[in-house]
Each structure stands twice: as C-alpha cells, then as structure tokens.
A = this chain, B = another copy of it.
Amino acid sequence: MGFSLLPKEFNLFILFNKQAQYAVDAAVLFSQLTAKGTFDTETVQKMRDIEHQADEICHEIIQRLNKTFITPFDREDIHALTTELDSVTDMIYTIANRMKVYKIVAIDADLMEFSIIIEKSVRALAKAIEGLSDSKHPNVVIDSCIEVNRLENIGDTMRDAILAKLFETAHDPIFLIKWKELYQFAEMVLDICEDVAHIVESIMVKQA
C-alpha cells in the first residue's frame, strides 16, 4: 500500500496518533482521580485542557480532509474516526466535570473499577489506530479491536451489577440520580470506544 503517495503536509496517521494519545491522557487522569478516591478540581482542569487540545486536532483533521483529494482510506471513515475518537475524550472529561457539578467528594470503588476498564479500552484503541499505518502487522489492529469489544461487554455486565446494587441500597433519590448518571456515562465511554473499533475494523477490511 502506497501511503508514501500522500502529501507530507497531511500526515493523517501522525494526527490520529496524537488524537488517540489525548484520549489515553484523559483516561489516565480519570484513573488517577478515581484511584485517589477523593475529587480534586485540579485534575478536572487538566482534563479540560486535554479535551480542548484533542478538539483542535479533530478540527484540523476535518479541515485538511475537506481540502485533500487523495486520502489513505475512505473520507467517510476518516471523518467518522476522528469524530468518534473525539467523543471518547469528551465523554471521559464529561464524567469528571459532572462530578464537580454534583459536588461529589468521595469517589466510590465502582467508578474506580470502571476507570480501569476505560483506561484499558482507550489504550487498546490507541494501539489499533497506531497499527493502521503499519500494513505489515494487521493482527495488531484486529486483536486490539477485539480487546475493545471484550472490554465493552465487561462494562455492560459491570454497569448492570452496579446499577442493581445502587437501586437496592440507595435510599436518597438525589444521591441515586447523580450516581446512576455517572455510571451510565462511564459505560457510554466503552460504547464509544467500541464504535471507534468498528470504524477501525472497517478500514482494515477494506484495505485487505
């Protein structure tokens, strides 16, 4: 495959890897926050900065895509990939920010467990995206995508168990409203990661 035919100024793979790295950075900060178990505004501020920078890369990819005639894979796939990848970082930041809005002080172990799965999933995504530019090892891409799907299934089961526990034990409806939303947002990150993995898989299959 002749990726070298691409004009240097639109090195899509470098931009995608950068964008994926921002998602990893956001996921790592989120893991650190939940591992500490206490909310802190500083970490959320850092996540906000990352979210802004990730947004700019996404915007840059779309701008360049619109001005470029030859692309290494389908335009629709590039557009979908950058948009969905942006949603991953957005959604991770949204959880942390919503905790701030809800004045959450103590973060429970269930959200921490979610953050571990999220970090794993985002790292697998970053590996899959990195693999897209290396046509010699397609299995790295495929295996990483399978891992993202596996983690999404785990997340589904986790959310069900955690929601069941929440509805059984919580007696304060306002407490329940807050945490129900936070857990559902956490599971949504894994859903969005799976969407990204599907796009990556489609790109791979078309290139085969």
Binding site for B on A (CB under 8 A): 62-63, 66-67, 76, 97, 100-103, 160, 163-164, 167-168, 170, 173-174, 176-178, 180, 198, 202, 205-206, 208
Judge whether A62 and B103 touch: CB under 8 Å.
no
Give the docked Cα–Cα distance between A48 and B97 (Å).
34
Give the docked Cα–Cα distance between A208 and B115 (Å).
43
Judge whether B102 and A202 touch: CB under 8 Å.
no
Please pick, from B76, B101, B163, the residue contacting A164 in the complex, using a CB distance under 8 A.
Answer: B101
Knowing A101-B160, A177-B176, say if A66 contacts B206 (CB, 8 Å). Answer: yes
Knowing A174-B176, A177-B180, say if A103 contacts B168 (CB, 8 Å). Answer: yes
Knowing A177-B173, A180-B177, say if A101 contacts B62 (CB, 8 Å). Answer: no
Knowing A101-B164, A103-B164, A163-B101, say if A67 contacts B178 (CB, 8 Å). Answer: no
Knowing A160-B97, A177-B173, say if A167 contacts B67 (CB, 8 Å). Answer: no
Give the docked Cα–Cα distance between A67 and B174 (Å).
51
- A selection of 29 A-B contacts at a CB cut-off of 8 Å is A62-B198, A62-B202, A63-B205, A66-B202, A66-B205, A66-B206, A67-B205, A67-B208, A76-B76, A97-B160, A100-B160, A101-B160, A101-B163, A101-B164, A101-B167, A102-B163, A102-B164, A102-B167, A103-B164, A103-B167, A103-B168, A167-B174, A167-B178, A170-B174, A173-B177, A174-B176, A176-B177, A177-B177, A177-B180
